[in-house]
Amino acid sequence: MNRSEAVEAIRSPIFAFSLAIAVAVATWLLASGSTATMLAITLFCIVLWVLTPVPPSYTGLIGLGLIAVTFSTELALVGFQKPATWLIGFGLLMGEATRQSGLASGVGRWLATRTIGDPTEADSVRTYRRLLLALSIGAHALAFLVPSALVRILALAPILRELGSLFDSRAARVGLYLGPLFATFYGSAGILTADLPNIIISGFSQSIAGHTISWSEWWLHMYPVMGLARVLLVIGIVYAFFRPSADSSFTLPESGPTDGAAQRRMLAFLLVGASIWATDFVHGFHPVIGAVVVVILAFLPTVGVADFDTAGRDVDFSILFFIAAVFAIGDGLTETGFTDRSATYLLELIPTDGSLAVILASVFFITFALTFLMEGLAVASVLTPILIPYIDAAGLPFTPVLLAEVLALSSYFFPYQSAVLIVILTEGDLETRELIVTTVACSVATIVVLLPIQFGLFSVFY
């Protein structure tokens, strides 16, 4: 049996479900009470999400059912009350409207024609390289304007799919999709307003400890290494994994007539949404409000650019079951007390008399470990209120310790750990294995190469 056959055997429904059930039963027998039940459900779902014998959304549906039966329907459905869940739902409609209006293909053609240069001298490898770099840098720059990685992913995905369709190489299509999305996602750790975990952690720092981390302070501490350098590292990894062969071909973008009016209206609607997202520090609205406004305008009769009656035909809303299950598990682990006990126990292991670099590494890996059980936003919401009193009692500097937590919340291995990765998987034409391999490579490279540099800078500052 070769490697591919072994992987397929492990991912087969019979083996995967048997393993998931065995892990769940063993966990339930070893622990006790409601914590044992919730932890068993959690590990059952994680095994299926990692091996993917069935679609992740279907596993999420099973998880919701198990939680409803063993706990309550209120806990099972709590994920549907989260704004992030509906940000994804409305984001899917935004993407469909962008596609129907022709804006996705129009922007794709515009970017391609200006990146390719002289068509007579272009070849697939050089064209791909130029597009990958230009799109990734542009997607990263968008993080300075749009304060939610989820929103940026949902806005960029249709455009990247259109650009990828110019290449006959699957590797090129996957690379052009993952490269820019990973650039805007992984680079967000370097910008305070670029992602929700950053905002949550800085908010707790202000409300609990009275310690403010300013935008410029965050940028100075984090952006050189975990912003710019990390984006370049991610681009290099994606290019190493996914690039077209020299004999592959690509299609020059057409420059024929398009429905410019519909595209301009859709662009205007997106700019309205972007203005709401970029000014959240003024009005305090959750990013979902901006998405709702864009969807209302895009599907408004006469004024809009898309038909609401047909929107559900091409949009897969089953991802909401996946997201809801992830959030329900996070809330369940919190309600049973597992998260608080685990975080407290792990924090007690930190050697407070060690060097700052050792303490930062300990906080990083504690946070990193918790993300294997809970979605990143849940970890930030649960761990930070426990971590801040610990920092104060130990006499540690607040900023570098909290930033070490941030670093772990952008270093994932599997899609279920982050709603952003779930959306990337759902929106693109790529396999779960391709996403996992790339996320593992990017996260391992971050930990091995960039993390020591970042902690070294913290040691200089503090």
- 8-state DSSP, 10: H
Of the candidates 447, 444, 438, 453, the one whose C-alpha atom is nearest the C-alpha of residue 175 is 438
φ, ψ for residue 167, nearest 5 deg: -105, 140
Tally of CB atoms within 10 A around 216 = 10
Of the candidates 119, 118, 160, the one whose C-alpha atom is nearest the C-alpha of residue 138 is 160
- For the chain, residues with pLDDT lower than 70 are 1-4, 7, 116-122, 147, 252-259
- 8-state DSSP, 254: P
Structure tokens belonging to residue 324: 């809801």
Tell me the three state secondary structure of residue 250.
Answer: strand
Tally of CB atoms within 10 A around 12 = 13
Residue 236: per-residue pLDDT: 97
The one-letter code for the residue type at 304 is G
Q: Are 54 and 325 within 8 A, CB to CB?
A: no
Residue 150: per-residue pLDDT: 81
Tally of CB atoms within 10 A around 453 = 13
Tally of CB atoms within 10 A around 202 = 23
Residue 420: per-residue pLDDT: 87
Tell me the three state secondary structure of residue 237.
Answer: helix
CA–CA gap between residue 143 and residue 306 (Å, rounded): 27
Distances (CA, A) of 381 to 165, 329, 405: 39, 14, 11
| pTM, two decimal places | 0.79
Return the sign of the alpha-carbon dihedral for residues 291, 146, 167, 51.
negative
Residue 41: per-residue pLDDT: 95
Structure tokens belonging to residue 195: 């992602």
CA–CA gap between residue 128 and residue 172 (Å, rounded): 7
Beta bridge partners, 167, equal 250
Beta bridge partners, 250, equal 167
Residue 375 CB contacts under 8 Å (≥ 6 apart), including other chains: 326, 327, 329, 330, 416, 417, 418, 419
In the chain, where are the structural domains located?
Answer: 1-72, 83-192+215-309
Residue 269: per-residue pLDDT: 92
Rg (CA), the chain: 22
Residue 206: per-residue pLDDT: 82
Tell me the three state secondary structure of residue 460.
Answer: helix
Please, what is the end-to-end C-alpha distance for the chain in angstroms? 54
The CB-side HSE value for 261 (13 A sphere, CA atoms) comes to 4
